[in-house]
Amino acid sequence: MLLLALDTATPAVTVALHDGEAVIASSSQVDARRHGELLLPAVDRVLAEAGVKLDAVTGIVVGIGPGPYTGLRVGLMTADTFGLALGVPVHGLCTLDALAYAADIEKGPFVVATDARRKEVYWATYADSCTRLTEPAVDRPADIAEKVAGLPAVGAGALLYPDTFPVVHEPEHVSAAALASLAAERLAAGGELPAPRPLYLRRPDAQVPKNYKVVTPK
Protein backbone atom coordinates (compact mmCIF):
# COMPACT_ATOMS: atom_id res chain seq x y z
CA MET A 1 0.00 0.00 0.00
CA LEU A 2 1.18 3.49 -0.84
CA LEU A 3 -1.50 6.09 -0.27
CA LEU A 4 -1.21 9.66 -1.51
CA ALA A 5 -3.41 11.86 0.69
CA LEU A 6 -4.31 15.49 0.08
CA ASP A 7 -6.74 18.04 1.47
CA THR A 8 -7.67 21.56 0.37
CA ALA A 9 -10.99 21.94 2.23
CA THR A 10 -9.53 24.50 4.65
CA PRO A 11 -6.80 27.17 4.36
CA ALA A 12 -4.28 24.34 4.78
CA VAL A 13 -2.86 22.86 1.58
CA THR A 14 -1.65 19.53 2.86
CA VAL A 15 -0.21 16.37 1.27
CA ALA A 16 1.18 13.12 2.69
CA LEU A 17 2.32 9.63 1.71
CA HIS A 18 1.46 6.57 3.81
CA ASP A 19 2.97 3.12 3.19
CA GLY A 20 0.37 1.17 5.14
CA GLU A 21 2.44 1.27 8.31
CA ALA A 22 3.26 4.92 8.81
CA VAL A 23 3.46 8.35 7.16
CA ILE A 24 6.71 8.49 5.20
CA ALA A 25 6.53 12.10 3.98
CA SER A 26 4.25 15.10 4.41
CA SER A 27 3.88 18.78 3.63
CA SER A 28 1.47 21.45 4.88
CA GLN A 29 1.15 25.14 4.07
CA VAL A 30 -1.58 27.49 5.25
CA ASP A 31 -2.73 29.90 2.54
CA ALA A 32 -6.44 30.27 1.84
CA ARG A 33 -5.92 31.92 -1.55
CA ARG A 34 -3.32 29.70 -3.23
CA HIS A 35 -4.66 26.15 -3.17
CA GLY A 36 -4.27 25.66 -6.91
CA GLU A 37 -0.79 27.16 -6.93
CA LEU A 38 0.57 25.22 -3.96
CA LEU A 39 -0.95 21.74 -4.28
CA LEU A 40 1.02 20.17 -7.14
CA PRO A 41 4.41 21.47 -5.93
CA ALA A 42 3.55 19.99 -2.54
CA VAL A 43 2.85 16.62 -4.17
CA ASP A 44 6.20 16.78 -5.97
CA ARG A 45 7.95 17.71 -2.73
CA VAL A 46 6.42 14.83 -0.79
CA LEU A 47 7.24 12.28 -3.49
CA ALA A 48 10.83 13.54 -3.64
CA GLU A 49 11.17 13.37 0.14
CA ALA A 50 9.92 9.78 0.12
CA GLY A 51 12.14 8.88 -2.84
CA VAL A 52 9.31 7.43 -4.93
CA LYS A 53 7.66 8.19 -8.26
CA LEU A 54 4.00 9.04 -8.68
CA ASP A 55 3.36 5.74 -10.51
CA ALA A 56 4.25 3.85 -7.31
CA VAL A 57 1.09 5.16 -5.61
CA THR A 58 -1.60 2.48 -5.14
CA GLY A 59 -4.44 4.70 -3.95
CA ILE A 60 -5.52 8.31 -3.44
CA VAL A 61 -7.24 9.73 -0.36
CA VAL A 62 -8.79 13.19 -0.56
CA GLY A 63 -10.49 15.36 2.03
CA ILE A 64 -14.10 15.90 0.94
CA GLY A 65 -14.84 18.74 3.32
CA PRO A 66 -17.03 20.30 4.34
CA GLY A 67 -15.34 23.35 2.91
CA PRO A 68 -15.73 26.36 0.62
CA TYR A 69 -16.37 25.56 -3.03
CA THR A 70 -13.25 27.09 -4.57
CA GLY A 71 -10.62 25.48 -2.35
CA LEU A 72 -12.36 22.14 -1.97
CA ARG A 73 -12.71 21.49 -5.70
CA VAL A 74 -8.94 21.94 -6.24
CA GLY A 75 -8.15 18.88 -4.14
CA LEU A 76 -11.05 16.81 -5.47
CA MET A 77 -10.25 17.48 -9.13
CA THR A 78 -6.56 16.78 -8.56
CA ALA A 79 -7.36 13.50 -6.79
CA ASP A 80 -9.71 12.42 -9.59
CA THR A 81 -7.09 13.28 -12.21
CA PHE A 82 -4.39 11.28 -10.43
CA GLY A 83 -6.76 8.35 -10.02
CA LEU A 84 -7.63 8.29 -13.71
CA ALA A 85 -4.02 8.73 -14.85
CA LEU A 86 -2.68 6.02 -12.55
CA GLY A 87 -5.65 3.65 -12.70
CA VAL A 88 -5.89 3.52 -8.90
CA PRO A 89 -8.87 3.95 -6.54
CA VAL A 90 -9.72 7.37 -5.16
CA HIS A 91 -11.17 7.43 -1.64
CA GLY A 92 -12.89 10.31 0.13
CA LEU A 93 -12.67 11.12 3.82
CA CYS A 94 -14.40 13.83 5.84
CA THR A 95 -11.97 16.61 6.68
CA LEU A 96 -13.52 16.99 10.14
CA ASP A 97 -12.83 13.30 10.80
CA ALA A 98 -9.13 13.83 10.09
CA LEU A 99 -9.03 16.74 12.52
CA ALA A 100 -10.74 14.62 15.18
CA TYR A 101 -8.27 11.79 14.56
CA ALA A 102 -5.35 14.13 15.26
CA ALA A 103 -6.94 15.83 18.29
CA ASP A 104 -4.92 15.90 21.49
CA ILE A 105 -8.00 15.05 23.57
CA GLU A 106 -7.72 11.85 25.56
CA LYS A 107 -11.43 11.40 26.19
CA GLY A 108 -14.58 12.62 24.42
CA PRO A 109 -17.06 13.83 23.61
CA PHE A 110 -15.73 16.87 21.80
CA VAL A 111 -16.55 19.07 18.80
CA VAL A 112 -14.54 19.85 15.66
CA ALA A 113 -15.14 23.21 13.97
CA THR A 114 -13.56 24.77 10.88
CA ASP A 115 -14.06 28.25 9.48
CA ALA A 116 -16.97 28.38 7.02
CA ARG A 117 -16.72 32.16 6.53
CA ARG A 118 -19.90 34.28 6.60
CA LYS A 119 -19.57 34.17 10.42
CA GLU A 120 -20.34 30.44 10.35
CA VAL A 121 -18.51 27.19 11.14
CA TYR A 122 -18.53 23.70 9.70
CA TRP A 123 -18.83 21.36 12.66
CA ALA A 124 -19.58 17.90 14.02
CA THR A 125 -19.37 16.21 17.42
CA TYR A 126 -17.29 13.12 18.25
CA ALA A 127 -17.40 10.43 20.92
CA ASP A 128 -13.67 9.85 20.44
CA SER A 129 -11.01 10.39 17.80
CA CYS A 130 -12.51 7.78 15.46
CA THR A 131 -16.25 7.98 16.14
CA ARG A 132 -18.40 10.81 14.79
CA LEU A 133 -21.71 11.36 16.58
CA THR A 134 -23.37 13.89 14.26
CA GLU A 135 -23.40 14.61 10.55
CA PRO A 136 -21.29 17.58 9.40
CA ALA A 137 -23.28 20.82 9.44
CA VAL A 138 -22.82 24.55 8.87
CA ASP A 139 -24.21 27.04 11.39
CA ARG A 140 -23.60 30.30 13.17
CA PRO A 141 -21.76 29.56 16.42
CA ALA A 142 -24.37 31.31 18.55
CA ASP A 143 -27.06 29.04 17.09
CA ILE A 144 -25.29 25.86 18.26
CA ALA A 145 -24.01 27.17 21.59
CA GLU A 146 -26.40 25.03 23.61
CA LYS A 147 -25.58 21.88 21.61
CA VAL A 148 -21.84 22.18 22.18
CA ALA A 149 -21.90 23.72 25.66
CA GLY A 150 -19.25 22.20 27.90
CA LEU A 151 -17.49 20.34 25.07
CA PRO A 152 -13.83 20.91 24.30
CA ALA A 153 -13.26 21.91 20.69
CA VAL A 154 -10.70 21.39 17.94
CA GLY A 155 -10.01 23.47 14.85
CA ALA A 156 -9.50 26.97 13.50
CA GLY A 157 -13.24 27.63 13.44
CA ALA A 158 -13.45 27.14 17.18
CA LEU A 159 -10.60 29.61 17.77
CA LEU A 160 -12.59 32.34 16.04
CA TYR A 161 -15.54 32.13 18.43
CA PRO A 162 -14.35 31.82 22.04
CA ASP A 163 -17.80 32.63 23.43
CA THR A 164 -19.15 29.40 21.92
CA PHE A 165 -15.92 27.37 22.14
CA PRO A 166 -14.06 28.50 25.28
CA VAL A 167 -11.72 25.47 25.44
CA VAL A 168 -9.85 24.74 22.19
CA HIS A 169 -7.27 21.99 21.63
CA GLU A 170 -4.76 21.28 18.87
CA PRO A 171 -4.64 20.88 15.94
CA GLU A 172 -5.77 24.15 14.43
CA HIS A 173 -5.64 22.90 10.83
CA VAL A 174 -6.12 19.53 9.19
CA SER A 175 -3.08 17.54 8.08
CA ALA A 176 -2.90 15.03 5.25
CA ALA A 177 -0.77 12.92 7.58
CA ALA A 178 -3.79 12.40 9.82
CA LEU A 179 -6.04 11.93 6.78
CA ALA A 180 -3.75 9.23 5.41
CA SER A 181 -3.32 7.48 8.76
CA LEU A 182 -7.06 7.32 9.39
CA ALA A 183 -7.72 6.08 5.86
CA ALA A 184 -5.01 3.41 6.10
CA GLU A 185 -6.40 2.25 9.45
CA ARG A 186 -9.94 1.92 8.09
CA LEU A 187 -8.84 0.20 4.89
CA ALA A 188 -6.67 -2.27 6.80
CA ALA A 189 -9.68 -3.14 8.96
CA GLY A 190 -11.73 -3.86 5.85
CA GLY A 191 -13.82 -0.74 6.15
CA GLU A 192 -15.19 1.32 3.32
CA LEU A 193 -14.39 4.98 2.74
CA PRO A 194 -16.81 7.54 1.30
CA ALA A 195 -16.83 8.34 -2.39
CA PRO A 196 -14.69 11.37 -3.34
CA ARG A 197 -17.68 13.69 -3.57
CA PRO A 198 -17.68 17.18 -2.01
CA LEU A 199 -19.48 18.15 1.17
CA TYR A 200 -20.28 21.75 0.29
CA LEU A 201 -23.31 22.02 2.65
CA ARG A 202 -24.33 25.31 1.03
CA ARG A 203 -24.29 27.12 -2.28
CA PRO A 204 -20.99 28.70 -3.49
CA ASP A 205 -20.28 32.35 -2.71
CA ALA A 206 -19.99 33.18 -6.41
CA GLN A 207 -23.33 33.30 -8.21
CA VAL A 208 -24.23 33.74 -11.87
CA PRO A 209 -26.03 37.08 -12.31
CA LYS A 210 -29.75 36.61 -12.82
CA ASN A 211 -30.28 39.63 -15.07
CA TYR A 212 -27.89 40.47 -17.88
CA LYS A 213 -27.72 43.94 -19.36
CA VAL A 214 -28.39 43.84 -23.08
CA VAL A 215 -25.46 45.41 -24.94
CA THR A 216 -26.11 44.20 -28.49
CA PRO A 217 -27.61 46.69 -30.95
CA LYS A 218 -31.27 46.33 -31.78
| Predicted TM-score (pTM) of this structure | 0.91
Question: What number of H helices and E strands is found in the chain?
Answer: 6, 11
**Cα 54 from chain centre:** 22
The predicted-structure confidence for 159-201, as pLDDT tens digits, reads as follows 999 999 999 999 999 999 999 999 999 999 999 999 999 999 9
**Contact, 14 vs 176, CB < 8 A?**
yes
From residue 177, give the alpha-carbon distance in Å to each of 1, 28, 162, 208: 15, 9, 27, 37
Closest alpha carbon to 30 in 137, 142, 172: 172
Q: Look at residue 132 and give its three-state secondary structure.
A: strand
The predicted-structure confidence for 24-54, as pLDDT tens digits, reads as follows 999 999 999 999 999 999 999 999 999 999 9
Q: Which residues are CB-neighbours of 192 under 8 A, at least 6 positions away? A: 186
